[in-house]
Amino acid sequence: AQSVTQLGSHVSVSEGALVLLRCNYSSSVPPYLFWYVQYPNQGLQLLLKYTSAATLVKGINGFEAEFKKSETSFHLTKPSAHMSDAAEYFCAVSGGNTGGFKTIFGAGTRLFVKA
Amino acid sequence: DAGITQSPRHKVTETGTPVTLRCHQTENHRYMYWYRQDPGHGLRLIHYSYGVKDTDKGEVSDGYSVSRSKTEDFLLTLESATSSQTSVYFCAISVKETQYFGPGTRLLVL
């Protein structure tokens, strides 16, 4: 079965430091990959998505992610963290062998940003 | 903004009572989904719909039923609420491969 693993349920960085949130997926065929962000008491908002057009995907708020097929990874990065980046981040995969339109979500990583 | 609203936004109910949550969309999307969100589990699919009166089960469908009599509305019913169904429920629609989410309903079952 398709799965998504996010390494680290909590990540803490200082303001201005690099943000790195890790995501690995299992798929036997090229999937669609996503990162969503959830701010407190809100729904999930699409941050960026990979659809095979380019391996480095740029998203909103300065985030980007790189698709590495050989490592089955789709890690999320941002060069310099801002206090407003504090939120929960979800990696997700659809297509491939997830069952067409179904999307599988990771357990989430909560990002803390220290002043 | 994908034009998705959920009602109610908050609800407290007692064990054994039926509860219905409503998801409404304004853009005639074919696919709609209900998820529950619990700490440490991310989002788990309860049921989904691929058209009016066309629905199917997700990975955590026990104790839940759904109905879709109109394109714009997707209802989730907890037939007899239990404390294990205390959760945050999200509705979503999909546009091709991408899902877009409503604001959520926070349900507490006492």
Q: Residue B58 in contact with residue B47, Cβ under 8 Å?
A: yes
Nearest to A111 by CA among A42, A18, A1: A18
Nearest to A101 among B40, B44, B94 (CB): B94
| B residues 60-89 closer than 8 Å to A (CB) | none
What percentage of chain A has pLDDT greater than the value 90? 70
* DSSP conformation class of A33: E
Alpha carbon A14 to its chain's center = 19
Q: How close, in Å, is residue A64 to chain B by CA atoms?
A: 17
Nearest to B101 among A32, A43, A102 (CB): A43
Inspect the interface and report whether the beta carbons of B101 and A45 lie closer than 8 Å: yes
Inspect the interface and report whether the beta carbons of A46 and B98 lie closer than 8 Å: yes
Res. B56: pLDDT tops 80:
yes
Nearest to A105 among B43, B94, B103 (CB): B43
Residues 6+ apart with CB under 8 A from A17: A80, A81
- Residue A71 dihedral angles phi and psi, to the nearest 5°: -105, 0
- Cβ contacts of B104 on chain A, cutoff 8 Å: 41-43
Inspect the interface and report whether the beta carbons of B97 and A95 lie closer than 8 Å: yes
User: pLDDT category, A17, cuts 50, 70, 90?
Assistant: very high
Q: Is B104's Cβ below 8 Å from some Cβ in A?
A: yes
Q: How close, in Å, is residue A75 to chain B by CA atoms?
A: 17
Q: Is B34's Cβ below 8 Å from some Cβ in A?
A: no
B61-97 pLDDT tens trace: 999 999 999 999 999 999 999 999 999 999 999 988 8
Alpha carbon B66 to its chain's center = 8
Q: What dihedral angle (degrees, nearest 10) is formed by the CA atoms of B66, B69, B71, B72?
A: -70
Res. B54: pLDDT tops 80:
yes
A43-83 pLDDT tens trace: 999 999 998 778 899 999 999 999 998 899 999 999 999 99
Q: At A20, which helix (H) or strand (E)?
A: strand A19-26
Q: Residue B68 in contact with residue B75, Cβ under 8 Å?
A: yes
A29-39 pLDDT tens trace: 667 899 999 99
Q: What dihedral angle (degrees, nearest 10) is formed by the CA atoms of A35, A39, A45, A48?
A: -30
Question: For residue A102, what are its two tokens?
Answer: 């179904």
